[in-house]
Amino acid sequence: MTAKDLVRPLPGIRRLSLLRQQIAFRGSATYWEQNYAQGGTSGPGSYGDLARGKAAFLNTFVREHDVRSVSEFGCGDGQQLSLADYPSYVGLDVSRSAIALCKRRFAGDATKSFFLYDGSCFVDRARVFTADVALSLDVIYHLTEDQVFSTYMEHLFGAGSRFVVIYATNTEISGTAPHVRHRRFTEWVETQCPQWRLAQVTPGPDRGPARADFFTYGRVRERRPEVPTH
């Protein structure tokens, strides 16, 4: 038996821990508000090598495609954003505490704005939040409720004028914590967003079994009907 075996939770203990978490879980939005309000962060994916790897991909993408504006659905505590180089940025999040953190952190940055996001009250017919790129990083597998997931995806793809970039897993994985639900989200996009095409999948910086990748979608240009000649 190794030292790792000694500290690894026994199967029964782990199941009991997950059960307790499930009983205490009150929904994805409530979970993240409590997390940030109690001093939590956006998680290890927004720090260290993973954060730098994501920033390298995104900053290169913004430069190569001459992106002028980014709207991010799920800005979190702003740690990942601190590594970004975007000309204009709007961040939305379900957590009031997370928005407060971002307001303080970027108080002197006139290129960044932040808004509280409530999917059930979000109606943007004037396309106020539309940007060249609609961005979602480490969010989709935290949307545990089906309706919350569908509404979020509708708003995310509705906000992209040129691209939608998603960093997420794309497979179903069992045995996760109650605030995590891995999905094959690409199937939803294929059926619900015919005006978008998956242009590229780029491996993410994490090579673990539940690794997330970058999924880049481009808007399909409408073909103008041919004018008959006489």
Supply the pLDDT for residue 19: 40
Would you say residue 151 lies in a domain? yes
Q: Measured between alpha carbons, how far is 113 from 92 in angstroms, rounded to an integer?
A: 9
Would you say residue 1 lies in a domain? no
Supply the pLDDT for residue 97: 97
Would you say residue 21 lies in a domain? yes
CB 79 within 8 A of CB 42: yes
Would you say residue 224 lies in a domain? no
Mean pLDDT in each 10-residue stretch from start to end of the chain (230 residues)?
A: 41 45 64 92 91 98 98 97 98 97 97 97 97 97 95 98 98 78 96 97 88 95 59
Would you say residue 5 lies in a domain? no
Q: Measured between alpha carbons, how far is 210 from 204 in angstroms, rounded to an integer?
A: 11
Supply the pLDDT for residue 4: 39
Would you say residue 170 lies in a domain? yes
In the chain, the number of structural domains is 1
Supply the pLDDT for residue 10: 46
Supply the pLDDT for residue 211: 87
Which tokens hold the place of 129? 């939040």
Supply the pLDDT for residue 8: 45
Q: Give residue 81's identity as a one-letter amino acid code.
A: L
Supply the pLDDT for residue 179: 77
Would you say residue 230 lies in a domain? no
Return the residue matching tokens 């009031």: 96
Q: What is the pTM of this model?
A: 0.84
Supply the pLDDT for residue 109: 97
Helix, strand, coil shares, percent, the chain, to 5: 40, 20, 40
Give me the CATH number covering residue 94: 3.40.50.150
Q: Whole domain around residue 190: which residue ranges?
A: 10-219
Nearest-10 crossing angle of helices 185-192, 146-159: 60
Supply the pLDDT for residue 32: 86
